[in-house]
Amino acid sequence: MFYWIMKRLFIGPLVSVLFRPWVKGLDNIPAEGGAILASNHLSFADSIFMPVAVDRPVVFLAKSEYFTGSGLKGRLTATFFRLTNQLPMDRSGGAASANSLGAGERILSQGQLLGIYPEGTRSPDGRLYRGKLGVAKLALATGVPVVPIAMIGTDKVQPIGKTVPNIRRVGMIVGEPLDFSRYAGMSEDRFVQRSVADEIMYAIMRLSGQEYVDVYAATVKAELAARKHAARHPQKKAGGAADAGAGSAPDGA
């Protein structure tokens, strides 16, 4: 009930007035029954604009860091995510990630819509990155359709690191549902999982028009962070970097 009050009386009208969102293909979202809404991820604001545009309630699997922040900002962020129908997803792997996917399976088995960002994190530069296998595992385990979605312009509204959004128009394109029933009984096959994840990302790429990069976004973010750190803390000794790497073996050795 609180979700509907927030959406219909507060967030929805505010978003409509300020950002004038446009939507194409909304009728591709099933009117009933479970389905996965798989979207690109350009901005924190994606988790606001998509649920507002969709008539049915959408439960999101959001990264667990949104629920564990410190200070006033962290507490407000965690409260907002809980009030807007979002569940924490642990991306550390192993049992923690399996439990998060289990929560997603329960949502889908109840006939609800589950929103997920297959890239696992926001794009660091506006390009579309390789999809993680979680979305494929959910689709194969439950048999529900996967609806590809492209968010348009949300990175301009709220770029990474910016708290106050820019007031400008945003869009959302909803593609036709993807059916993976041909893989019934093969949900544990890693090659099948990879094929499903790639097909979902290809569908999102066609809708969004983004350049696709066959690398995980988290890997690129880690590399960018390492470069920034190196630039801020240069080696005091010219030979330090070379000495540090002298004992390491090349990849695959």
pLDDT value, residue 23 = 97
List b or e across 40-60, with b for residues whose CB sees 16 or more CB atoms inside 10 angstroms. Answer: bbbbbbbbbbbbbbbeeebbb
Contacts of 59 (CB under 8 A, 6+ apart): 85, 86, 87, 107, 112, 113, 114, 115
Percent of the chain with pLDDT over 70: 85
Placement of tokens 């924190």 in the chain: 44
Across the range 87-111, mean pLDDT stands at 79
Asked if residue 70 lies in contact with residue 109, where contact means CB atoms within 8 angstroms, the answer is: no
Chain segment 101-122, per-residue pLDDT in tens: 898 999 999 999 999 999 999 9
DSSP 3-state assignment of 81? Answer: helix
Placement of tokens 């359709």 in the chain: 145
pTM of this prediction exceeds 0.95: no
Across the range 153-179, mean pLDDT stands at 92
**pLDDT at residue 137 greater than cutoff 50:** yes
Report d(CA 182, CA 201) in Å as an integer.
Answer: 18
**pLDDT at residue 91 greater than cutoff 70:** no
Higher pLDDT, 95 or 74: 74
Read off the amino acid at residue 24: K
pLDDT value, residue 5 = 60
Across the range 66-72, mean pLDDT stands at 77
Chain segment 185-244, per-residue pLDDT in tens: 999 999 999 999 999 999 999 999 999 999 999 999 999 999 988 988 887 544 554 444
Q: Are strands 171-174 and 212-213 parallel, antiparallel or unpaired?
A: unpaired
Report d(CA 247, CA 188) in Å as an integer.
Answer: 38
Read off the amino acid at residue 67: F
Residue 172 phi, psi dihedral angles, 5° rounding: -145, 130
Chain segment 41-54, per-residue pLDDT in tens: 999 889 889 989 99
Higher pLDDT, 249 or 227: 227
Contacts of 143 (CB under 8 A, 6+ apart): 180, 181, 184
Lowest mean pLDDT among 14-28, 82-96, 126-140: 82-96
List b or e across 64-98, with b for residues whose CB sees 16 or more CB atoms inside 10 angstroms. Answer: eebbeeeeeeeeebbeebeebbbbbbbbeeeeebe
Residue 147 phi, psi dihedral angles, 5° rounding: -100, 110
Number of H helices, E strands in the chain: 10, 9
Q: Are strands 171-174 and 146-152 parallel, antiparallel or unpaired?
A: antiparallel
Q: And the tokens for 117?
A: 């960002």
Across the range 81-108, mean pLDDT stands at 75
Q: What is the mean pLDDT of the chain?
A: 86
Contacts of 247 (CB under 8 A, 6+ apart): none
